[in-house]
């Protein structure tokens, strides 16, 4: 049986681990030291974390030094996201030693640049699709982009190997993933998809694992872990087919 890659989320704002509701600034719940959170997931056996600089994503600051320190101290693979929009920010992100970076807003605002970096860095680049309805959301989800399928078609043709798909309306709501959206992106692109947003139960993880053969490679889990809907051990057991 193929496994679902689990990526516990560590979202960092003002040096603290937080979780937002639908990406709205001011809706956050604070969960303390982000390094301690990342260590907890690593110690439980997670092979990945999804590490996000929310201040950089919203364009109001940076936690770059702290995120680099977290990556340096952990022996696991990191998907790094938040505010990576140009050569300088990409170079800083890749220099941390993360396994891959997740490009969000720039996929909307600078598609030609995205094509260039996909050609240069291959699968170290993932494209983040933050979707509200049928359209993309940008700049920390505060502005609207174009239809998501146009970006998927263009960047798939440019060689993108992986899309990180977030249903903005589900994120932090614990209402379940948008399975239809995930399936649509996988079918249209023919590429791997990492699910993000809304995962609230072990049943949701079971359903996502059942979609691995359809292209859903992984799942980013945040709020449900932090508020105790299930444990990291339980989540890993489901993702790896042990239950």
Choose, from 43, 87, 123, 130, the residue flagged as catalytic. Answer: 130
d(CA 95, CA 72): 11
Is the torsion defined by CA of 173, 39, 203, 220 positive or negative? positive
Task: Name the residue with tokens 């993880």.
Answer: 205
Number of domains in the chain: 1
Closest to 4 (Cα-Cα) out of 177, 200, 210 = 210
Task: Name the residue with tokens 């001011």.
Answer: 26
Q: Which residues constitute the domain of residue 134? A: 5-239
Is the torsion defined by CA of 153, 157, 158, 159 positive or negative? positive
Verify whether residue 75 is a known catalytic residue. Answer: no
Residue-level pLDDT at 176 = 87
d(CA 242, CA 48): 18
Task: Please tell me which of 19-28, 142-151, 188-197 the model is most confident about, judged by mean pLDDT.
Answer: 188-197
pLDDT tens-digit map of 128-183? 998 988 888 865 444 566 889 999 999 999 999 999 998 887 665 667 899 999 99
Helical pair 202-209 and 179-189, crossing angle rounded to 10 deg = 20
Choose, from 11, 55, 167, 171, the residue flagged as catalytic. Answer: 11
Helix (H) or strand (E) holding 235: helix 232-239
Burial of 201 (0-12, 13-18, 19+ CB in 10 A): middle
CATH code of 123's domain: 3.20.20.70
Q: Residue 193: which pLDDT band, with cuts at 50, 70 and 90?
A: very high
Verify whether residue 171 is a known catalytic residue. Answer: no
- Beta-strand pair 48-53/29-30: unpaired
Residue-level pLDDT at 240 = 92
What pTM was computed for the model?
A: 0.91
């Amino acid at each position: 049986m193929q496994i679902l890659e689990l990526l516990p989320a560590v979202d960092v704002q003002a040096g603290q681990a937080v979780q937002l509701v639908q990406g709205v600034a001011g809706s956050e719940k604070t969960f303390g030291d982000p390094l301690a959170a990342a260590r907890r997931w690593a110690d439980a056996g997670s092979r990945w974390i999804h590490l996000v600089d929310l201040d950089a994503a919203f364009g109001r600051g940076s936690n770059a030094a702290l995120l680099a320190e977290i990556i340096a101290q952990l022996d696991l693979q990191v998907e790094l996201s938040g505010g990576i929009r140009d050569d300088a920010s990409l170079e800083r992100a890749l220099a941390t030693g993360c396994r891959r970076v997740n490009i969000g807003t720039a996929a909307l605002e600078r598609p030609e640049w995205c094509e260039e970096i996909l050609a240069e860095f291959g699968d170290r680049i993932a494209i983040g699709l933050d979707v509200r309805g049928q359209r993309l959301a940008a700049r920390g989800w505060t502005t609207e982009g174009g239809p998501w399928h146009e970006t998927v078609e263009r960047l798939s043709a440019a060689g993108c190997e992986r899309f990180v798909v977030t249903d903005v309306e589900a994120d932090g709501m614990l209402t379940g993933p948008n399975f239809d959206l995930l399936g649509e992106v996988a079918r249209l692109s023919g590429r791997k998809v990492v699910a993000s947003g809304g995962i609230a139960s072990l049943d949701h993880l079971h359903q996502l694992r059942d979609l691995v053969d359809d292209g859903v490679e992984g799942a980013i889990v945040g709020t449900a872990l932090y508020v105790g809907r299930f444990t990291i051990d339980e989540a890993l057991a489901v993702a790896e087919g042990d239950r």
